[in-house]
A = this chain, B = another copy of it.
Amino acid sequence: MQYELLDKINSPQDIKTFSMSQLNRLAAEVRDFITHCVSCTGGHLASNLGAIELTIAMHYVFNFSTDRLLWDVGHQCYAHKILTGRKELFKKLRQKDGISGFPSPDESEYDQFTVGHAGTAIPTAIGLALAADKLKTQEKIVAFVGDASIVNGLSFEALNNMGLVRRQLLVVLNDNSMAIDVSQGAIAQFLSKVRLSHTYEDLRKRTNRILEHMPLVGKRMEDALESFKRTLRMAITPNRLFESLNIPYFGPVDGHDISSLIEIFKAMSGLDRPAVLHVYTKKGKGFSPADDDPTRFHSTGPFKINGELESEKSTGKSFTASFSDSIVKLAAENDKIVAITAAMSDGTGLMKFKKQFESRYYDVGIAESVAVDIAAGQAKTGIRPFVCIYSTFLQRCFDQIFQEVALQNLPVVFCIDRAGLVGADGPTHHGLMDIGFLRMLPNMVLIAPANGVELELAMRFAAESKSPVAIRYPKEEVNDGICPEIFSQPFELGRSVTAKNGKDKIAVIAYGSIVNEALKAAESLKADNIEITVINARFAKPLDEKIVSLLRTDNSIITVEDHSIAGGFGSAVLEAAAEAGVGVSKIRILGVGDKFVQRDKRAAQLADSGIGAEGIADAVKKIIKAR
C-alpha cells in the first residue's frame, strides 16, 4: 500500500500545513489504510471509519503532545494511532509485536489512559482539568465520547459534576446513532429523534450559526449561548438534557466535514469552561459493506476486501456459541427464563435468543449495574433472569451483585463470558478477577464448566438453583469430545468429577475449561511414565468435600485456573485446607501472577502464565523431582 500523503506523516505536526483538499484526501487514504489493515488483522472497523474526519480535524487544531485527548472505551482511536507515528505498527494491530487496539500511554505520548471500558473519558478529563487549574497549566482537554457510552452511569455522574471545572474542557459527543448493537434507552431514542429531524442542509446552517455566535476569548459564555440559542429554536433539541445539567451545548454538526469541524474546534478551544459539541457521524462510512452492516463490522475478524469474512481458521465451536444454543433450549423448556445484556447481544451470544424470545430479552445499553438490579427485581417474583456480561465488565456491577443479589439470596444466573485470558484485547479485557470478588459473597454458587456440554448442564443446574449462580467460561473453543462419559453427568451442588485416576499420587485439580490443558499434560506425562490424577472441580464455591478429603491423603495437589492466583480458586482450596487443619505444604497453585498480561494470542498467554499443558506438566515434574 502506498499513499501520497499518509506516507509522509510521522506526527500530527505534519498535517498542520495541509490544505483543506489535502486533508480530505488524507481522510480517504486513512480510510483505505484502516480498511486494508483491519481486513488482515481483524479489529474494530465501523466505528473507526466513522471517526476519521473528526480525528484529523482535532489533530489539526489541537496539539495533543501537550493538549490531552481522552478516548472513551477507546476502540475508535485507529486514525489517531495512524497519525501519531504508529502507521507501520498499525499493520500488526492487536498483535504482540504490533500495537494495541486501544489507547496506550506505553506506546505514545499522545495516549493518556490505557482504556477499554466505557464512561471514563469525561470523568478523567474532569480530573485532568481540575489538576491543570491547580497547577496553572494551559493545555486544552478534549474528551471524545460515543453515544453508546454517554448513557453509562459513570458518564452521567461526570456530566453532573462538570460544574467543578472552571476552565476549558471540550466533550465531543460522537453520535453515530448506534451503540455497539443498536442504541438502547431514552437518551438514545432522544438523540435519534433529533437526528431524524435534521437534513444535511440543517447541519451546515447550524455550523455557521455556531461560528457566528461563538464567544471570542473573554466574551461571556452566557451571552454567546443565549444568542446562539435564539437563532436555533427547534421542536426537539438535545440541548434540553445538557441544559438541565447546566452544560453549554453546541450542535449537532456534520462530523465528516473537516473544514467546518476545524473552524468549530478552533472556536471552541478558546472557551473558558466545559462545553459539549454534538457531532453526527456515520458508522462504517466509506466502506460499503461496513456501511450496510455496521454491527457485523463493529468488531470483526479478518475479511476479504469485498466484505466477505475470511473463512474462519478455527473449526471448533466456541463457548459463546454453545451458550447461545443452550439458552435457547432452556428458554423453550422454561418460560420463566429471561435474558439481560448490557449492549452485548452479539458478543455474549444472545442474538438467537433475542430473535426467538424477543419479549423475554432485555438490552439496557452499556450499563452493567442496572442490568443486575433489573435482574434482582425480576428474580424476586419467580422470573429466572440470566445476566450475560463479560467477566471484565462484571467488575462494574460488583456492588449490585453483593447487595441486590447475594444479600437477598435471589436466584439470578450470571453467565460470564470472556472469563480468563482473552488474547488480543489485552489487559483491559481479561477476566481474571471474577472468582475472587464473587466468592467473597455469601450465598453465591460459583461454577466453571469444562466444555460446551458442561456449560449446558451448568446452566440447567443454575436454572433450578435457589441461590445466585455465576458460571464462567473463556473465549475459547469448547473441546466437547474430551471425557464425554464423565463430563456429561448432571451438575450436583459442590460436586467435582474425576476425569482421570493416576498412580503417582499427584492430583491436578482444574477449574473450568483449563481442565483440558490438564488432561493434555496428563497425556504428555505418560511419556515419562508419570500418571497423574485429573479432577474437574466444576465448583469453586461450594468447594467439593472430596477435594478437602484428598488434601488429607498423601497426594500432592496442583490447582490450575485461568484466573488471578490472588483470591482465586486455588486460594479457596488453600483456605479450605487451613480450615480443615490439613497439611497444605504440598499444594501448588497455578494461575495468573500479579501482573497485567499484555495482548498476545490466548494460547501464548496461557503458556506464559504457566497454565497451559506444558506449564502444568512442568509443575508435576518439579514435584516428582523434589520427592
Contact = CB atoms under 8 A, between A and B. Distances in A.
A247 B585 CA distance: 61
A442 B129 CA distance: 27
B154 A370 contact: yes
A320 interface: no
Interface string A370-409: 1001111111111101000000010110111011100110
Interface in A93-133: 105, 112-117, 119-120, 123-132
B126 A377 contact: yes
What is the interface residue range for chain A against chain B? Answer: 35 or more
B567 A135 contact: no
A337 to B, nearest CB: 11
A362 B130 contact: yes
A316 interface: no
Given A381-B131, A439-B567, A584-B584, A407 B578 contact: no
A113 B404 contact: yes
A112 B380 contact: yes
A116 B400 CA distance: 11
A345 to B, nearest CB: 15
A158 interface: yes
A399 B396 contact: yes
A134 B404 CA distance: 21
Contact of A377 (B130, B162, B163): B130
Contact of A158 (B359, B370, B588, B595): B370
A433 interface: yes
**Which one of A116, A240, A408, A566 has the greatest number of beta carbons of chain B within 10 Å?**
A566
Contact of A428 (B395, B407, B566): B407
A436 B567 contact: yes
Given A160-B367, A440-B432, A566 B570 contact: no
Interface stretch (A179-187, A457-465, A491-499, A604-612): A179-187
Nearest to A139: B381
Interface in A398-433: 398-400, 402-404, 407-408, 427-428, 432-433
A152 B157 contact: yes
Interface in A179-203: 184-187, 189-190
A184 B246 CA distance: 13
A414 to B, nearest CB: 15
A378 B244 contact: no
A68 to B, nearest CB: 9
B154 A154 contact: no
Given A124-B404, A244-B190, A338-B134, A157 B575 contact: no
A539 to B, nearest CB: 14
A378 B128 contact: yes
Contacts of A565: 575, 579
A160 B365 contact: yes
Nearest to A377: B127
Contacts of A43: none
**Which one of A374, A376, A564, A567 has the greatest number of beta carbons of chain B within 10 Å?**
A374
A567 B567 contact: yes
A582 B437 CA distance: 27
A114 B407 contact: yes
A398 B186 CA distance: 27
A594 B186 contact: no
Interface string A195-215: 000000000000000000000
A574 to B, nearest CB: 4
A594 B442 contact: yes
Contacts of A375: 127
A380 B115 CA distance: 14
A158 B127 contact: no
A232 interface: no
A238 interface: yes
A382 to B, nearest CB: 7
Contacts of A572: 566
A138 interface: no
Nearest to A187: B160
A76 interface: no
Contacts of A114: 403, 407-408
Contacts of A246: 186, 189-190
Contact of A575 (B433, B566, B596): B566
A177 to B, nearest CB: 16
A168 to B, nearest CB: 15
A238 B154 CA distance: 22
B382 A135 contact: yes
Interface string A442-459: 100000000000000000
A322 B499 CA distance: 56
A459 B11 CA distance: 42
Interface string A141-155: 000000000011110
A380 B130 CA distance: 11
Contacts of A290: none
A332 interface: no
11 contacts: A124-B374, A127-B378, A163-B185, A186-B244, A187-B244, A240-B240, A241-B244, A436-B567, A577-B585, A583-B583, A584-B585
User: What are the nearest 5 A-B pairs in CB distance?
Assistant: A127-B377, A153-B153, A123-B373, A583-B585, A567-B567
Interface of A: 105, 112-117, 119-120, 123-132, 134-135, 137, 151-154, 156-164, 184-187, 189-190, 238, 240-241, 243-247, 338, 359-360, 362, 364-365, 367, 369-370, 373-383, 385, 393, 395-396, 398-400, 402-404, 407-408, 427-428, 432-433, 436-437, 439-440, 442, 564-567, 570-572, 574-575, 577-579, 581-585, 587-589, 594-596
